[in-house]
Amino acid sequence: MTSSAKSWLLIWIVIGGVHFSLSNLILPLTMVLASQASSVPAEPGMAVTLLVRVTKLLHFPLVTMALYPREWFPGNWVYLPMAANSLIWAFGISWLIGLFRKAC
pLDDT in tens, 73-102: 888 888 888 999 999 999 999 999 889 988
Show me where the domains of the chain are located.
3-103
Phi-psi region of 100 (alpha: psi -120 to 50; beta: other; left: phi over 0): alpha
Amino acid 77: pLDDT: 87
Q: Measured at the alpha carbon of residue 17, what is the angle toward residues 15 and 20, in degrees to the nearest 5?
A: 110
pLDDT tens for residues 45-77? Answer: 788 888 889 988 998 888 777 777 778 888 888
Q: Measure Cα distances from 81 to 7, 15, 17, 61 in Å.
A: 25, 16, 14, 11
Percentages (nearest 5) of helix, strand, coil residues in the chain: 80, 0, 20
Amino acid 39: pLDDT: 65
pTM of the full structure = 0.79
